[in-house]
């Protein structure tokens, strides 16, 4: 197995874990008799755990080596999949989701860092396609989960079996990763890597793209139901179309990056997403709104991968840069669904998505932050900024 195929499989396995658990949330709610507000608080534990753990991931990769850290954290992430169904009470489930989020976020950082090391070695963009493989893994595992739920398979059995299978597949993928690079002469990342000024600029682009992605993924089905009077089938199809457009765009996105460059691709994607946002806001029929969400998915699909790539070059090590910007994007993903809901409640659904369209327009204007930094600028930033641990 080549290094490229191995890291692609790692991304697919990571996505498969996320896609599998998402299909069994209704079972968890029924099994523990959770009210919607309690379930919401429990689900919040996952991004909180990721947000807390991500800044420390760069240090972990430096100490263990990128290959070892990726294999270890992917195994932990796969193993955590079996735990939620075993929770005896809501407090235990909250603690498990906190651990689950910490494993997810840390694995996210180290595998993206490993991908960027390979990308530099190959001398061509591969990061967008790898994130496309994450979508493929999530969609495939989600389909299996829907089938398992439809057949009435107990979630404890389903999650345990999938966890074991993914542990094996993830272990095989990890064996194909490039050997750990020597860290001799490379300064250790800070124990808790707060974003530098350069990473904050890159992260702001990621914040805008992730905000639009998170809001659309969580609210697309609700939007077409409330605004366009869509039925349950069309509402579900709107979310599926959005995700499929993101996955397909990521799988071919690297070709456009090699041809046009990251800045032009993000700006072009921003224009497409703004056009989609206009359709969503102005449309009052299900198919127009669905087309709008499809364009939003195409437009923001490669923003996060390219933001990670730019951040990997803005930090002292790829791990530190990715950890800093991932913290910002996870914060965006954490607040986007809630802010969208508040705006929709206070104003209207179209007004909320008009706000999101404006945020995407801002991302288009800020895309220049993704240009590669001059040699020596990163080291200079490190000398000027205070240590964070």
Inter-residue contact 321 to 272 (CB < 8 Å): no
Q: How far apart are CA 54 and CA 132, in angstroms?
A: 22
- State the pLDDT at residue 145: 86
Mean pLDDT computed over every residue of the chain: 86
| For range 316-344, the mean pLDDT | 81
Q: How far apart are CA 56 and CA 388, in angstroms?
A: 11
Confidence of residue 371 (pLDDT cuts 50, 70, 90): confident
Domains 3-175 and 197-383 share a fold: yes
Burial (CB < 10 A; 0-12, 13-18, 19+), residue 261, is middle
> What size, in residues, is the chain?
389
Each residue's pLDDT tens digit, 247-291: 999 999 999 999 999 999 999 999 999 999 999 999 889 999 999
Instruction: Identify the residue with better confidence: 388 or 34.
Output: 34
pLDDT at residue 191 greater than cutoff 70? no
Query: In the chain, what are the domain boundaries?
Result: 3-175, 197-383
| For range 311-326, the mean pLDDT | 74
Per the structure block, which two tokens stand in for 8? Answer: 């692609």
- Long-range contacts of range 100-103, CB-CB < 8 Å, 24 or more positions apart? 100/21, 100/45, 100/46, 100/49, 101/45, 101/46, 101/47, 101/48, 101/49, 101/50, 101/51, 101/53, 102/49, 102/50, 102/52, 102/53, 103/53, 103/73, 103/76, 103/77
CATH homologous superfamily for 3-175? MFS general substrate transporter like domains (1.20.1250.20)
Q: How far apart are CA 21 and CA 160, in angstroms?
A: 11
pTM equals 0.82
Q: How far apart are CA 211 and CA 42, in angstroms?
A: 21
- State the pLDDT at residue 142: 84
Asked if CATH classification 1.20.140.10 holds for the domain at 197-383, the reply, yes or no, is no
Instruction: Identify the residue with better confidence: 363 or 50.
Output: 363
Per the structure block, which two tokens stand in for 340? Answer: 């969208």
- State the pLDDT at residue 388: 41
- State the pLDDT at residue 333: 83
């Amino acid at each position: 197995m080549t290094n490229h195929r191995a890291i692609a499989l790692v991304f697919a396995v990571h996505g498969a874990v996320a896609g599998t658990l998402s299909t069994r949330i209704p079972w968890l709610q029924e099994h523990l008799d959770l009210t919607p507000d309690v379930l919401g608080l429990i689900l919040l534990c996952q991004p909180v755990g990721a947000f807390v753990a991500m800044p420390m991931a760069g240090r972990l990769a430096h100490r263990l080596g990128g290959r070892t850290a990726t294999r270890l954290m992917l195994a932990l992430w796969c193993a955590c999949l079996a735990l939620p169904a075993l929770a005896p009470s809501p407090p235990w489930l909250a603690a498990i989701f906190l651990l689950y989020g910490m494993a997810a976020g840390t694995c996210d950082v180290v595998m993206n860092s490993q991908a960027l090391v390979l990308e530099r070695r190959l001398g061509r963009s591969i990061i967008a396609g790898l994130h496309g493989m994450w979508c493929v893994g999530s969609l495939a595992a989600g389909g299996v989960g829907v089938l398992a739920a439809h057949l009435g398979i107990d979630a404890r059995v389903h999650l345990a079996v999938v966890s074991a299978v993914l542990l094996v597949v993830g272990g095989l993928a990890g064996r194909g990763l490039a050997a750990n690079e020597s860290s001799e002469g490379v300064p250790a990342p800070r124990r808790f890597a707060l974003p530098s000024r350069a990473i904050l600029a890159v992260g702001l682009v990621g914040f805008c793209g992730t905000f639009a992605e998170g809001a659309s993924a969580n609210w697309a089905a609700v939007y077409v139901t409330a605004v366009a009077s869509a039925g349950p089938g069309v509402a579900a199809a709107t979310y599926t179309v959005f995700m499929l457009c993101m996955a397909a765009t990521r799988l071919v996105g690297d070709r456009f990056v090699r041809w046009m460059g990251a800045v032009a691709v993000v700006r072009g994607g921003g224009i497409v997403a703004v056009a989609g946002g206009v359709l969503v806001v102005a449309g009052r029929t299900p198919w127009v709104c669905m087309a709008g969400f499809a364009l939003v998915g195409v437009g923001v699909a490669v923003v996060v991968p390219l933001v990670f790539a730019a951040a990997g070059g803005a930090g002292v090590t790829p791990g530190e840069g990715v950890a800093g910007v991932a913290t910002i994007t996870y914060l965006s993903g954490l607040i986007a669904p809630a802010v969208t809901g508040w705006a929709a409640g206070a104003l209207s659904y179209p007004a909320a998505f008009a706000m999101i369209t404006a945020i995407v327009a801002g991302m288009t204007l800020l895309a220049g932050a993704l240009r590669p930094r001059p040699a020596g600028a990163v080291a200079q930033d490190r000398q000027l900024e205070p240590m964070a641990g």
